[in-house]
Structure 1
Amino acid sequence: MERPRGLHQGDRPGGDGVTGHAALVDGEAIAKSRVEAFLDVRGPGAPHRGAGNCATSPHEPAPARRQAEAPSAARQRRRWATQVVVTDELARRACADRSLNVPEEVSPASVLAVAETDVADLGSIVAAALAHSPAARTLLAALEAEQTVPETAVRGYYARNHDRFLTPEALRRGVTPFDGVAPEDLLPYDEVREGISRELRKAAGRKAFFGWLDQARAGVTYAHGHEHPGDPSHPDHEHRH
């Protein structure tokens, strides 16, 4: 399968504005125009704030979203967007290397709203990349499918988290795991086993995705103004994801 390239037709390495590159992946250019196109998406859920939670959906009227922002916030937003675009490119390459079929992209405006829980669990960069990039979602699904969850891990989770498996009747009586739980106060293990296994496999898949991304980023060099928003080498850095 042919590996997708980061340099689009009409872009050139070097220069200012939306021409030139935002980053190099193993020496191949990721065009600035890709970052600008991502930033130009407007509508519910479009990123418009700083590097921290700009992946979340603000549900603000259009004029509020388009108000002028501080130069430092704009710089951080561009750096944050570069990370999302680079993650998409790295995922495209990983999918090509694994011969994974990536579905057609949908309209960016329809996928950029990211749940606050995903931002909390994943960080805004990874959460937005998964919302924005079909390749990232495809790769995550493949990594999740590769995970094996031992039966001992499932049983251990059940034993350590009785509060999650109280029956409705036990909850109505005010039973808590701190007061001692009788076997009849818990949902049977066989009924919840598959759900626990699925949850643990999902967590393991996300851990594998983070491990892959950390390793894949080693081959990335960023252009000036497109560094990671948490990079302490520039004055506006914020160590927020």
Structure 2
Amino acid sequence: MREEYAALVRDHPIPKQHVATFLSTNALRGAGNCATSHDGAAHARRHRQQRRWATQVIVTDELARQACTERGLPPPDDVLPMRLLTVPETDIADLGSIIAAALAHSPAARALLADLEREQHVPETAVRDYYDRNQDRFLTPDALRRGVDPFNTVEPSDVHPYEHVEDGISQQLRHAAAHRAFFDWLDQARADVVYAEGYEHPGDPSQPDHEHRH
């Protein structure tokens, strides 16, 4: 029966039809329409990569669901929606398209990320170091209006006091650390996933048309 499945996630099957439905109802459905009859190979390649991409989003959702269960987190209220939600371009640039899409669509992935963030500890020295090295991010509105150059000498009054921004920096650093932990978790969690032919990771170097984008 394995030929009916796009992937097996710890023996949990991801039906090929699930991937096909996801692709047919989300924003990628028209991505290959620019290919003409004179470029059938490019059209087929794009379709394969879209299918592999969609498989990874669905696999990430299933892995996250299993991780939430193992961590004793409340079951997610929803399943991964078939219709693609809007994924901010900045998230795609920062996280890669697969993880950005999974976090946008999968309640389980978001619940896992939040749990990972609660585990992160950022020492005060790291927060202070970030503040000292990124003075340009903490200029006051008045300093910005006057065009103060943060990379030259800056008066103390031109920068928000450390005590006023410490909590925000700490939260930002915990958030970044949680994303790194999520990346590490996903790399390990999907190592044992078994894929059907044509549904492998789009960046799998064993595939002749692999891509390095995630």
State the TM-score, normalized to the length of structure 2.
0.90
Q: In the aligned structure 1, how far is the partner of 2:12 from the partner of 2:83?
A: 29
- Aligned-pair Cα RMSD in Å: 2.3
Q: 1:200 to 1:108 in 2, by over 3 A?
A: same
Q: CA deviation at 1:237?
A: 1.4
* Residues 183-209 of structure 1 deviation map (CA, whole Å, 9 limit, x = unaligned): 111101111111101100100100110
CA contact (8 A) 1:149 1:200 kept: yes
Aligned length: 209
Q: CA deviation at 1:111?
A: 5.4
Report the equivalent of 2:2: 14
Report the equivalent of 1:207: 180
Looking at both structures, which has the greater relative contact order when contacts are Cα pairs under 8 Å and sequence separation is at least 6? Answer: 2
Q: 1:156 to 1:49 in 2, by over 3 A?
A: farther
State the TM-score, normalized to the length of structure 1.
0.80
Q: 1:21 to 1:107 in 2, by over 3 A?
A: closer
Q: Percent identical across equivalent pairs?
A: 61
Q: How does 1:123-134 map to 2 (within 5 A)?
A: 123-134=96-107
Q: 1:37 to 1:109 in 2, by over 3 A?
A: closer
* Residues 94-148 of structure 1 deviation map (CA, whole Å, 9 limit, x = unaligned): 0011111133227836652100000011000000011111100100011011111
Report the equivalent of 1:220: 193
CA contact (8 A) 2:22 2:82 kept: no
Report the equivalent of 2:29: 48
Q: How does 1:1-241 map to 2 (within 5 A)?
A: 13-15=1-3, 20-42=4-26, 46-48=27-29, 70-105=43-78, 108=81, 112-241=85-214
> What is the SS of the residue equivalent to 1:108?
coil
- Structure 1 unaligned spans of 5+: 1-12, 55-63
Q: 1:226 to 1:109 in 2, by over 3 A?
A: closer
Q: 67-76 vs 230-239, which deviates more?
A: 67-76
- Structure 2 unaligned spans of 5+: none
Counterpart AA for 1:33: Q
